[in-house]
Chain A
């Protein structure tokens, strides 16, 4: 859960990037939403009310996209199964 010790040398931020940096541990993130998730997991005690809400919203929004992903994964599994089934039936 991103709790492991990482320092600046472990990151490779492109010169033209504008990373969202964690105010607590200075870790750079590609998107604001990932930063909100990181703070919720790793620095829950440092969050004020708005930030806690931001974490919860980011989590909910991610859950929705995760559900879509799961549907796609399930579809891919079914497809894979039938393609192989057909292949074995034909050859």
Chain B
């Protein structure tokens, strides 16, 4: 979802070429940032087809390598590994975090309106995009999910009355729609350039969220409807530290002793009950599609495709949500088709629905890999700005320091994407061995999903090789 990275500021950083540069804050922080945007885009010296082929081959080769691990004791051993982290038995830290979350939200709203109106100088913009969406989100999949504690709306909703109405049986579809809506807002509006607009969106989200929590009860709302909480909940399963919400059975034993479990990355994704129904699978696919869409609308290819339609009179503001919805449906259809094909290749009577629920969680590792690829550099380069502006939010200095990343850093996004894919392949492999008694059967059941992953990698890499433009016709 959301605005994101500093396309223009990133280019600026590169141009500075010094380790620590100073930027005049009148420069926009980034109108909108694609998840597959400038951060990940690099000049490729080999032909595009070869670049794509190599990416696809890397994923396919990792699958072939994983298929050599057929010893169930080995897989169980790796996934059963746990360490306990002692934690103080006190509620005070939780209370402090909750209060800090609420104060942070209040501060963002206030400074969004009262602070300077340039993105790079406004603490609200920096806190939301650099601090929260780039930095904090990464902690959800690198360390552990803590949003259910920090979430200021959840804290506020505890102080509000609740009507406790029953939520209709709509599954996770409201979250899917909410996620797509947030992505649409992010893409079509200059959220990172206009602090007042960002604040308006935050207030709008607050109104919807708090109203929902009052009507349906906080637990129901944040666990089943709120798209932001759902993103963090799913990312938390990639993380090595488990909480009560992201725990597998083995983690729960450690949690029952009053300690925090430490596990291998991605192990939480093997939870059989992580995705309960088709709508939750759709949410995972939507999260992955969001990454692609965000990058796709900033390619010249999209401009070429959209131009005849816009010239024929289709309003651009209608075209963007239409393509967002159509692409999501296409991604979901391809994924469900793969689940159906896994039945014959895996020689199983398990329903396609069960297969799609069990093989979707590995996609979250891929999504996390892409998130890290796109935001780590953005986060590191703008953190000094965030800290500087934090000191004087209402009258920030005219020039702010940015951290110019060293040249070798360009390898980090590629490595993140690769690690995400490798983790996904391993988790899918372990899941297959959990589901099927036959070892060859377990390997063959993954064929369609691996084909989909190869396709997805090549699509993403293709976007990465395209020049990055501002989303046209807006």
Enumerate 27 A-B pairs (CB-CB under 8 Å) in ascending A order. Answer: A1-B76, A2-B434, A4-B435, A9-B351, A10-B354, A12-B350, A12-B352, A30-B347, A31-B347, A33-B438, A34-B347, A34-B436, A34-B437, A34-B438, A35-B437, A37-B438, A40-B437, A42-B437, A62-B440, A65-B440, A66-B439, A73-B64, A76-B64, A80-B61, A81-B61, A88-B46, A91-B46
| Stretch in B33-41, B65-73, B179-187, B314-322 with 4+ CB within 8 Å of A | B65-73
B441 adjacent to chain A (CB < 8 Å): yes
Residues of A that sit less than 8 Å from B by CB: 1-6, 9-13, 17, 19, 28-31, 33-35, 37-38, 40-42, 62, 65-66, 69-70, 73, 76-77, 80-81, 84, 87-88, 91
CB distance from B393 to the nearest CB of A (A): 51
B435 contact set on A, CB distance < 8 A: 2, 4
Query: What secondary structure prevails in chain A residues at the interface with B?
Result: helix
B348 interface residue, CB < 8 Å from A? yes
User: Contact: B67 with A69, CB < 8 Å?
Assistant: yes
Write the nearest CB–CB distance from B156 to chain A, whole angstroms. Answer: 38
Q: Which of A6, A40, A41 has the most CB of B within 10 A?
A: A6
Query: Closest chain A residue to B443 by CB distance?
Result: A69
Chain B window 431-462, contacts with chain A (Cβ cutoff 8 Å), 1 for yes, 0 for no: 00111111111010000000000000000000
Give A28 Cβ to nearest chain B Cβ, in Å: 4
Give the residues in chain B near A31, CB-CB below 8 Å.
347
A9 to B357 alpha-carbon distance, docked (Å): 14
Complex Cα gap A73–B447 (Å): 13
Could you say which of B52-60, B159-167, B261-269 contacts chain A? B52-60
Q: Please report the C-alpha to C-alpha distance between residue A75 and residue B323 in the assembled complex, in whole angstroms.
A: 42
Q: Is B86 an interface residue (CB 8 A)?
A: no
Where the two chains meet, the residues of B that have a C-beta atom closer than 8 Å to any C-beta of A are 46-47, 50, 53-54, 57, 60-61, 64-65, 67-68, 70, 72, 76, 272, 343, 347-354, 433-441, 443
- Cross-chain contact B348 with A30 (CB below 8 angstroms): yes
Contact A80 B57 (CB under 8 A): yes
The distance in angstroms between the C-alpha atoms of A80 and B55, with both chains bound, is 12
Report how far A34 CA is from B444 CA in the complex, Å.
14
- Complex contact A34–B441 (CB within 8 A): yes
Residue of chain B at shortest CB distance from A14:
B349
The answer to whether B53 touches A12, judged by C-beta atoms less than 8 angstroms apart, is no
Inter-chain CA distance A10–B352, complex, in Å, is 9
Expressed in whole angstroms, the minimum distance between the Cβ of B54 and any Cβ of chain A is 6
Contact A13 B437 (CB under 8 A): no
Establish whether residues B349 and A30, one from each chain, have CB atoms under 8 Å apart when the complex forms. yes
A76 to B61 Cα, complex, angstroms: 8
Query: A2 vs B349: C-alpha distance in the bound complex, in angstroms?
Result: 13
Q: How far is the CA of A62 from the CA of B439 in the complex (A)?
A: 8
Chain B residues, CB < 8 A from A76: 64
Given A77-B61, A77-B64, the answer on whether A38 and B437 have CB atoms closer than 8 Å is yes
Measured between alpha carbons, how far is A70 from B64 in the docked complex, in Å?
Answer: 9
Q: Once the chains are docked, how many angstroms separate the CA of A63 from the CA of B357?
A: 29
CB neighbours of A87 from chain B (8 A): 50, 53
Q: Out of A5, A34, A42, A91, which one reaches B47, CB within 8 Å?
A: A91
Quick one: given A31-B347, A77-B64, are A91 and B50 in contact (CB under 8 Å)?
Answer: yes
17 A-B pairs besides A34-B441, A77-B64 with CB distance below 8 A are A2-B437, A6-B350, A10-B350, A10-B353, A10-B354, A12-B353, A13-B349, A29-B437, A30-B348, A30-B349, A34-B347, A34-B436, A41-B72, A66-B439, A80-B60, A91-B46, A91-B50
